[in-house]
């Protein structure tokens, strides 16, 4: 990895910058959650341009909801404090069952994927689920993993089929009306993945006349349709299918979450992320809106997960799964609370 590092590192350096400004954030949070939200948005970062539009899903996808939610959804990533009832009915339900039911992905390399050699699920999201199981049940192994397809994540939570979803799920204004999210445990953004040496340099007019691949129904698809920059679009069922098309020379670029794209780059050293992320996508653990105690409990787990500086479990998981694809990160994203 040489030329690719710059692009890949950008969001992580942004995370680092943001983490260093944690005291400021904490103060702002204490002053009031609306203020905190504003502060979070305004903290100057290297990717400031992208951050000016936080969590605004493209109009094509969730347009109708935007007008309503815009006023009371200044910061969807703000969650419930890990204080008060941490052992309520939802946590008791899990304890009675003796297993945490977690909806995960099996196809996202380094996040949630099943290693064909061992048959084991592993990745950054999976480690987090184990940490949650350990906190609630005292045993990281007491988990039942269910593979939940992207478009079934919200129904699976709402119907109670799963307790939590840890599946590279972006927190946004539309979704917080349907499910409850933990604090953000990762911050990703849409970015462009190309073969090394490609004339495509970013999500800009260098895409003119090129063929771009996105996953069907993804926010990336909506974004490319909104601003095609002269490119033509190919959609495929799964984001990984885009890498197949890219390797076969059927498309010139892939637009994707950089977190997932980093997992793709980790499978093919001859591709790289270019340009800056042009959206902000905080990932959260999704839970049922009624399971308030579970949300607080998971946030507590996340607090523990983040703490410990360079030796925090978060940093260790990051080093293990993501550092090679995304480069070095200094710290996890700071939690934000709304109560």
Nearer to another protein, 144 or 289 (CB): 144
Residue 249 makes contact with another protein by CB under 8 A: no
Site for another protein in 197-226 (CB under 8 A): none
Tell me the C-alpha distance between 2 and 205, whole Å. Answer: 24
Is residue 107 close enough to count as binding another protein by CB under 8 A? Answer: yes
**How far is Cα of residue 140 from the mean position of the Cα atoms in its chain?**
22
Give every strand in the sheet of 164-165, ordered side by side.
Answer: 143-147, 100-104, 164-165, 286-287, 180-181
Query: Which backbone phi and psi does 262 adopt, to 5 degrees?
Result: -65, -35
Query: Residue 28's beta-bridge partner residues?
Result: none
Span 262-291, contacts to another protein by CB under 8 A: 264, 267-268
What is the rounded distance in angstroms from the CA atom of residue 311 to the CA atom of residue 279? Answer: 29
H helix count then E strand count, the chain: 14, 15
Closer CB to another protein, 114 or 338, in the complex: 114
Out of 62, 204, 241, 304, which residue is the one contacting another protein (CB under 8 A)? 241
How does DSSP assign 126-174, residue by residue? HHHHHHHHHHHHS-TT-EEEEE--GGGHHHHHHTTS-SEE-SSPBP-TT
Q: How far is the CB of 5 from another protein (least distance, A)?
A: 21
153 contacts another protein (rule: CB under 8 A) = no
Segment interacting with another protein (CB under 8 A) among 25-33, 102-110, 253-261, 327-335:
102-110
Task: Give all strands (DSSP E) within the chain, no chain letters.
Answer: 100-104, 107-108, 112-114, 121-122, 143-147, 164-165, 180-181, 186-188, 190-195, 211-215, 232-236, 253-257, 271-274, 281-283, 286-287
Say whether residue 146 binds another protein (CB under 8 A). Answer: yes
For another protein, the closer CB: 79 or 150 = 150
CB of 84 to another protein, least distance (A): 31
Sole window of 219-227, 236-244, 253-261, 313-321 interacting with another protein (rule: CB under 8 A): 236-244
| Shortest separation between residue 324's beta carbon and another protein, angstroms | 13
Nearest residue (CB) to another protein, 5 versus 241: 241
Tokens 């350096």 sit at which residue?
13
Residue 147 engages another protein in binding (rule: CB under 8 A):
yes
Closer to another protein by Cβ: residue 215 or 274? 215
What is the binding site for another protein (CB under 8 A)? 101, 106-109, 113-117, 119-121, 144-149, 151-152, 237-238, 240-241, 243-244, 247, 264, 267-268
């Amino acid at each position: 990895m040489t030329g690719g590092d710059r692009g890949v590192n950008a969001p992580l350096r942004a995370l680092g910058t943001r983490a260093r400004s944690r005291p400021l954030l904490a103060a702002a949070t204490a002053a009031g959650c609306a203020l905190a939200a504003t502060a979070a948005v305004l903290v100057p970062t290297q990717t400031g341009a992208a951050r000016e539009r936080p969590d605004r899903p493209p109009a094509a996808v969730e347009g109708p909801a935007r007008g309503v939610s815009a006023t009371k959804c200044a910061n969807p990533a703000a969650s419930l404090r890990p204080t008060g009832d941490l052992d309520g009915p939802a946590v008791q339900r899990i304890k009675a069952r003796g297993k945490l039911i977690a909806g995960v992905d099996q196809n996202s390399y380094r996040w949630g994927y099943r290693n064909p050699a061992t048959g084991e699920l592993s990745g950054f999201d999976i480690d987090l689920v184990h940490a949650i199981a350990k906190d609630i049940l005292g045993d990281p192994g007491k988990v039942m993993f269910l593979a939940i397809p992207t478009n079934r994540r919200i129904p699976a939570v709402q119907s109670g089929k799963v307790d939590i979803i840890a599946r590279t799920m972006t927190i946004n204004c539309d979704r917080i009306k349907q499910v409850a999210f933990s604090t953000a445990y990762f911050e990703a953004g849409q970015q462009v993945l190309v073969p090394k040496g490609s004339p495509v340099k970013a999500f800009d007019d260098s895409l003119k006349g090129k063929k771009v691949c996105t996953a069907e129904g993804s926010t990336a698809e909506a974004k490319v349709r909104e601003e095609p920059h002269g490119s033509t679009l190919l959609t495929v069922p799964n984001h990984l299918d885009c890498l197949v098309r890219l390797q076969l020379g059927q498309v010139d670029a892939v637009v994707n979450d950089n977190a997932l794209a980093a997992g793709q780059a980790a499978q093919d050293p001859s591709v790289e992320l270019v340009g800056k992320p042009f959206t902000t996508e905080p990932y959260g653990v999704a839970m049922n809106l009624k399971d308030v105690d579970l949300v607080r409990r998971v946030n507590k787990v996340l607090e523990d997960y983040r703490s410990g500086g360079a030796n925090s479990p978060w940093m260790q998981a990051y080093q293990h799964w993501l550092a090679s694809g995304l480069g070095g990160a200094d710290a996890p994203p700071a939690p934000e609370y709304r109560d």
